[in-house]
């Protein structure tokens, strides 16, 4: 018997080691799985009158029958469901820039299941207002994005608009999933507009693959030792199984302002000395285009239809009629329809002709001036 | 636990036959209960702790295991030793083992029992002193005999991993 026990002990230790190794494979940060039965049993060895007696195993209601076959039960409890998770802004950790008219712009969040059970999460988004706290240091300007949708990358293959589900599906312990709010920016939005968004994740029961379970409820009061109860512990405190996170969109666009000034250059009698605006006098116009926005303006075209009382001065600047100063880069061009960006036809001056020339770009924060001269008829 | 369960499985065939028919009582009655400590504030605003059913236990929670043993025979029981393997899912809470009239020893392998300071763990080929997390078994060695009708208690706390 002794030998058998020793042998069994050795074999069991080996089995135990293997079990421990196997167990540690899924004994992750989230802890012991909900539903696990934890069993415990004490053994008492003793002598009577100097003679060793057969050991006695403990039982929840007491046992006095010696030996392993006494039928004594282990003292058990069932591990309950500790609902715990985090929800944070992810991807771009600042606001996402959108241009007016842009479709399918997105902000990103990550939900991580730090509890000990597979769960679903229902998602609810809200467009915030200027009355809400700032998000990423930016105040909402009381504009909203349109066509707002939620997609969850449950299959971990990136955002698939229109295909991904709009809830967190069967997220296992220690699993993370990316959540996207996808929206369109109306063309009416202007540079500097901020649309802040809130997303709320509400813990739901595991509803099977592809199906959202019912909201998980705290069964406090009906807790028992044998069943799986629910404890909301998100954020490390007793809670309600709900967490919120915020992110937002910033409208980034070009913002052009245009001004025109005139200066008398000369008249036929006074020449350049104190000239008067009389027929034959030469006037210089400067059209200024300033981009005060955050984005470059491309294909800028400046058109100026001259009054019938004035006419463009030919060869005002050497052999050219127009001087373009684009943020310090000066180019001249001619009134003829040729390879440059200027053309004067039927009393209208057009600067920014794109073909065969390259069109004009006014970069964010820069200014372009167009200078030309006319004669008073 | 594993050891014991395994022992049960391996030994069952040997023990079951003779004992199943006998079912004779030994000298001691042994009972284990699992409870949870609940902190309540009473009507006088006093904070009190009490042990309640381990109804809600989630990872990180502590439970209290209490082993009670009573001598139901007419003779004293000598050399009484209570051994409790720690459940796989639980970690011993340092300093929590308690037992009146008992010397409390620990083991990291289920075979060698000693005071905590004397236990060594070999990890990645290097030896280090054992910590509470390493303990696999707790043993209460009663320093005096348990007389007929007398009762003893062994208690410890464990945290659910």
Partner residue facing A60 (CB), from B27, B31, B80: B31
Residues A235 and A265 both lie in one domain: no
d(CA A77, CA A56): 22
Residues A87 and A48 both lie in one domain: no
Going by C-alpha positions, the residue among B59, B61, B35 that lies closest to residue B49 is B35
Cβ neighbours for A61, distance < 8 A, ≥ 6 positions apart: B31
pLDDT tens for each residue of B26-69:
999 999 999 998 888 888 888 888 888 888 898 999 999 999 99
Residues A155 and A229 both lie in one domain: yes
Phi, psi (rounded to 5 degrees) for A58: -80, 160
pLDDT at residue A238 in the model: 65
Nearest chain A Cα distance for residue B82, angstroms: 4
Residues A111 and A228 both lie in one domain: yes
Domain carrying residue A112: 81-251
How many separate domains does chain A show?
3
Residue A260 clears pLDDT 50, i.e. is over it = yes
Could you tell me which chain A residue has the CA closest to the CA of B29?
A: A64
Q: Give B12's contacts in chain A (Cβ within 8 Å).
A: 68-69
Q: Give A49's contacts in chain B (Cβ within 8 Å).
A: 75, 78
Cβ separation A70–B19 shorter than 8 A? yes
Residues A53 and A148 both lie in one domain: no
ipTM > 0.85, yes or no:
no
Cβ separation A19–B2 shorter than 8 A? yes
d(CA A149, CA A166): 8
Cβ separation A8–B80 shorter than 8 A? no
Identify from B20, B53, B55, B112 which residue to disrupt to test chain A contact, counting A C-beta atoms within 10 A and taking the largest count.
B55
Helix (H, G, I), strand (E, B) or coil at A257: strand
Residues A370 and A274 both lie in one domain: yes
Domain carrying residue B40: 34-160
pLDDT band, very low/low/confident/very high, at B15 (cuts 50, 70, 90): very low
Domain contains B17: no
How many separate domains does chain B show?
1
Domain contains A24: no
Cβ neighbours for A330, distance < 8 A, ≥ 6 positions apart: A323, A324
**Domain boundary residue, one of A76, A95, A125:** A76
Cβ separation B11–A65 shorter than 8 A? no
Going by C-alpha positions, the residue among A225, A26, A196 that lies closest to residue A116 is A26
Domain contains B145: yes
Q: Give A114's contacts in chain B (Cβ within 8 Å).
A: none
Going by C-alpha positions, the residue among A205, A223, A295, A310 that lies closest to residue A253 is A295
Residues A148 and A51 both lie in one domain: no
Report the residue count for chain A: 377
| HEC profile of A117-128 | CCEEEEEEEEEC
Q: What is the CATH number of the domain that holds B95?
A: 2.60.40
d(CA A321, CA A306): 14
Task: Please say whether the beta carbons of B72 and B151 come within 8 A.
Answer: no
**Domain boundary residue, one of A216, A251, A286:** A251
Nearest chain B Cα distance for residue A56, angstroms: 7
pLDDT at residue B101 in the model: 94
pLDDT tens for each residue of A274-300:
999 999 999 999 999 999 888 889 999
What average pLDDT does chain A have? 88
Helix (H, G, I), strand (E, B) or coil at B7: helix
Task: Please say whether the beta carbons of A46 and B79 come within 8 A.
Answer: yes
Nearest chain B Cα distance for residue A213, angstroms: 22
pLDDT tens for each residue of A71-125:
999 999 999 998 999 999 999 889 999 999 999 999 999 999 999 999 999 999 9
Q: Which residue has the higher pLDDT, A227 or A272?
A: A272
Partner residue facing B2 (CB), from A15, A48, A81: A15
pLDDT tens for each residue of A317-373:
999 999 999 999 999 999 998 889 999 998 999 999 888 778 899 999 999 999 999
Identify from B59, B99, B156, B161 which residue to disrupt to test chain A contact, counting A C-beta atoms within 10 A and taking the largest count.
B59
Q: What is the CATH number of the domain that holds A199?
A: 2.60.40.10
Residues A62 and A160 both lie in one domain: no
Tokens 């037992």: give the residue.
B99
Domain contains A17: no
Residue A71 to residues A58, A63, A76, B24, Cα–Cα distance (Å):
10, 9, 15, 12
Nearest chain A Cα distance for residue B117, angstroms: 23
Cβ separation B65–A75 shorter than 8 A? yes
Q: What is the CATH number of the domain that holds A337?
A: 2.60.40
Domain contains B81: yes
Residues A87 and A140 both lie in one domain: yes
d(CA A45, CA B79): 8
Nearest chain B Cα distance for residue A23, angstroms: 9
Residues A273 and A228 both lie in one domain: no
Cβ separation B29–A63 shorter than 8 A? yes
């Amino acid at each position: 018997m002794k030998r058998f026990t020793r042998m069994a002990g050795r074999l069991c230790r080996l089995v135990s080691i293997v079990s421990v190794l196997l167990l540690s494979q899924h004994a992750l940060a989230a802890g012991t799985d909900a539903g696990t039965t934890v069993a415990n049993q004490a053994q008492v060895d003793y002598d009577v009158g100097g003679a060793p007696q057969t050991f006695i195993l403990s039982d929840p209601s007491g046992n006095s029958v010696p030996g392993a076959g006494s039928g004594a039960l282990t003292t058990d409890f069932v591990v309950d469901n500790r609902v715990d998770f985090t929800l944070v802004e992810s991807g771009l950790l600042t606001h996402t820039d959108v241009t007016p008219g842009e479709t399918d712009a997105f902000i990103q969040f990550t939900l991580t299941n730090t509890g000990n059970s597979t769960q679903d999460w229902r998602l609810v988004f809200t467009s915030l207002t200027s009355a809400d706290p700032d998000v990423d240091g930016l105040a909402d300007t009381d504009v909203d994005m349109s066509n707002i949708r939620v997609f969850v990358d449950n299959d971990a293959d990136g955002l698939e608009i229109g295909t991904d589900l709009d809830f967190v599906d069967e997220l296992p312990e220690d699993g993370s999933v990316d959540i996207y709010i996808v929206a369109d920016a109306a063309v009416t939005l202007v540079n500097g507009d901020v649309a802040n968004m809130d997303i709320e994740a509400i813990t739901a029961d595991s509803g099977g693959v592809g199906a959202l379970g019912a909201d998980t409820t705290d069964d406090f009061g009906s807790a028992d030792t044998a069943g799986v109860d629910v404890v909301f512990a998100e954020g490390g405190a007793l809670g309600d199984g709900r967490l919120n996170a915020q992110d937002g969109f910033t409208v980034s666009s070009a913002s052009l302002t245009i001004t025109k000034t005139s200066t008398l250059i000369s008249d036929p009698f006074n020449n350049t000395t104190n000239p008067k605006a009389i027929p034959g006098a030469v006037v210089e116009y400067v059209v200024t285009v300033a981009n005060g926005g955050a984005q470059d303006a491309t294909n800028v075209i400046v058109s100026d239809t001259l009054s019938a009382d004035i006419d463009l001065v030919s060869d005002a600047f050497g052999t050219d009629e127009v001087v373009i100063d684009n943020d310090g880069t000066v180019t001249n061009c001619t009134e003829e329809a040729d390879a440059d960006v200027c053309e004067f036809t039927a009393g209208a001056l057009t600067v920014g002709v794109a073909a065969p020339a390259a069109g004009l770009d006014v970069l964010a924060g820069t200014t372009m001036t167009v200078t030309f001269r006319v004669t008073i008829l | 636990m594993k050891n014991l369960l395994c022992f049960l499985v391996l030994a069952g065939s040997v023990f079951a036959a003779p004992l199943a028919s006998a079912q004779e009582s030994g000298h001691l009655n042994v009972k284990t209960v699992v409870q949870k400590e609940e902190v309540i504030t009473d009507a006088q605003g006093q904070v009190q702790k009490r042990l309640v059913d381990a109804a809600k236990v989630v990872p990180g929670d502590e439970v209290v295991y209490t082993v009670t043993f009573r001598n139901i025979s007419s003779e004293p029981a000598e050399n009484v030793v209570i051994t409790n393997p720690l459940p796989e899912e639980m970690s011993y809470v340092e300093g929590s083992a308690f037992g009146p009239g008992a010397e409390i020893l620990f083991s990291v392998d289920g075979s060698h029992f000693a005071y905590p300071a004397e236990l060594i763990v070999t990890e990645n080929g290097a030896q280090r002193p054992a910590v509470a997390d390493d303990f696999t078994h707790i043993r209460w060695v009663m320093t005096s005999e348990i007389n007929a009708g007398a009762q003893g208690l062994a208690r410890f706390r464990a945290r659910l991993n």
